[in-house]
Homo-oligomer: A and B are copies of this chain.
């Protein structure tokens, strides 16, 4: 399940709805990413996607995760557009009978989203705007799975 949206979403409500659908799973791992930044340093984050391409890439990553781990189901919700500090950017949730599978697949999907998902991040602060690209650590995290 994938949703890319340009309006805020409620991670807790989404996670509850997800849990409702996979009660026989037992183990649900999730990750919430919030727009980080000390007040004053970052005032806004803008995320851009390539409609069609972005969705296809994430759907493929979800399929890879399902092949690799015994998942009941997986959910990715990702914001695009303009966000303020503290707002959720991303929710990933994975459900399995097995705790390890849930944790690892959630971790895997986050690594995909950080380095390979087709988004561009524009950070706007008092000193102007800059484009944020993945850090070396993000690429290293991602290489754990290959």
Contact of A32 among B13, B30, B32, B88 (CB under 8 A): B30
Q: Which of A95-112 contact B (CB under 8 A)?
A: 97, 99-100, 102-103, 106-107, 110
Q: Does A47 sit within 8 A of B, measured CB to CB? A: no
* Complex CA distance for A49 and B47, rounded to whole angstroms: 47
Q: Are B30's CB and A34's CB within 8 A? A: no
Are A16 and B27 CB-contacts (below 8 A) given A99-B141, A103-B103, A107-B103?
no
Query: Is chain A's interface secondary structure helix, strand, loop, or mixed overall?
Result: mixed
Alpha-carbon distance between A26 and B132 when the two chains are bound, in angstroms: 15
Residue A12 lies at the interface, judged by CB distance under 8 Å to chain B: yes
Residues of B within 8 A of A14 (CB): 12
A34 touches B19 (CB 8 A): yes
